[in-house]
Every structure is written in structure tokens, then in C-alpha cells.
Amino acid sequence: MSIEQKQQQIAATLRLAPVVPVVIIEDARAAVPMARALVAGGTPAIEVTLRTPAALDAIKAIAEDVEGAVVGVGTVLSAKDLRAAFKAGARFAVSPGVSPGLLDAADDSELPLLPGTATASEVMTLLERGYRHVKFFPAVPAGGHKLIGAWASPLPQMKFCPTGGITLASATDFLSLPNVVCVGGSWLTPADKLRSGDWAGIEQLAREAAALR
């Protein structure tokens, strides 16, 4: 699959909802009911981060058992991560930054990558590699909506999914920008609701996020 085709897949995934839930999951048994709640709430693209031992099992369970979910993998750092996530059933990958090795591995992988950026130089590098959709991370500490807004004029070819420090209240600051497709948010799956199995609460948070535009 070409970089253009993979970028088209990423674009379609990012347009599914205004918010992509970013999930840190400790217990893979929670994955399926959590994902069903997110899909029911209108946020079907789900990024499960590789920050816990349960992540790959959670991705596999969602991919196999949750109709309507588009499950992706986050915190991808290496070719090994891409291979493991693809095998588990992930449909897209997200990285916190970029490295030559990771970009080379993504070229050889069938898994579409949403690479992380925090500077204009990184954006320019990814444009040269054929990317047209990237993550902006960590969005709020790195400069927030004002920085991305400033990039819209000199770098109009690139579209962003800002992630990091964004809340329901601040999401519209980003979503109102012409170069922002969606935002990533961890507030939809808070640790206390995952631990207690409050799937109705997670569905409600998803509904609020899906209604942002």
C-alpha cells in the first residue's frame, strides 16, 4: 500500500468523529465493554496506547468483538510495535514523535501511521515523506491552538489531530481551526470509570465529545 493510500485511510478514520479517545487500559477484560460504550456514544475511532501490558490484548479483543469500532494503537516507537499492533488487529498507528527508523518501518508496514509532531521543522520533514495528516503532541504544552493556527498559512498542506492536555471545554479552540480534523482526548475513558466499569458514564462522555461539531 502506498503512502498516499495509507494517508487516505488515516484521513477517513480521523473524520469519523471530532474526538479520538486515547485509552490507557490496565485490564484487557474492560476493552470490549469500553469500546462498545465509545461506539454507542459516537466516537468509533479508538487509540489504545502501548503503555500497559494489557494494550495488545485489548486491541485484539476490540478488533474481534466490537462492531463499528476502528481500533488503533498509540505510543508506537518502533518497527516491532508496528508489527505487533498489526498482528493484533489494529487499523491505524499513532506515534508521539518521529524518527527516521520509525518512518522507514511505516513505509514497509501495511498499518497507516499518524506520526507525532511538535515543530514546524518536523511538519516539513513529514510533508517531504508524503504525510498530509499528523498528530500534534503534546498539544497544550507545545503551544496549543495558537501555534497550530499560526501554521495554517505557511503549511496549509498539513492537517492535524492535536492530542495532549485537551479537555471537553478546550477542544473547540482546536476544532475551530481550518487545519484541525479532530482532537485526541483521554478524558473520555478516565481511569476511575474503567476500574468501576461505568460504561454508561463513558458512553455519555463520548456523546458529549461527538456533539462538539
Output the nine-digit C-alpha cell for 151: 501554521
- Active-site residue (options: 6, 60, 135, 193): 135
- What is the per-residue pLDDT across 57-67, written as a single tens digit (0 to 9) for each? 999 999 999 99
- Kindly state the cell numbers that stand for 103: 518512518
3-state secondary structure (DSSP) of residue 180 = strand
> Which residues, at least 6 apart from 133, have a Cβ–Cβ distance to it below 8 Å?
7, 10, 11, 14, 114, 158, 159, 160, 161, 181
87 is catalytic: no
Residue 204: exposed, middle, or buried by beta-carbon count in 10 A (0-12, 13-18, 19+)? middle
User: Which pLDDT tens digit goes with each residue over 47-57?
Assistant: 999 999 999 99
Catalytic residue from among 6, 47, 60, 193: 47
- At 71 the three-state DSSP class reads strand
Instruction: Look at residue 47 and give its three-state secondary structure.
Output: strand
Q: Is 47 a catalytic residue?
A: yes
Amino acid 213: pLDDT = 72
Percentage of the chain lying above the pLDDT 70 cut: 100
- Residue 23: what pLDDT? 98
Domains and CATH numbers, the chain: 3-210 (3.20.20.70)
State how far the Cα of 53 lies from the Cα of 58, in Å rounded to an integer. Answer: 10
Q: Which helix (H) or strand (E) holds 67?
A: none
The chain-wide mean pLDDT, for the chain, equals 97
CA distances to 32, 107, 114, 149, 192 from 130, rounded to whole Å, are 34, 10, 12, 22, 40
Q: How far apart are CA 213 and CA 196, in angstroms?
A: 30
Burial class (CB in 10 A: 0-12, 13-18, 19+), 44: buried
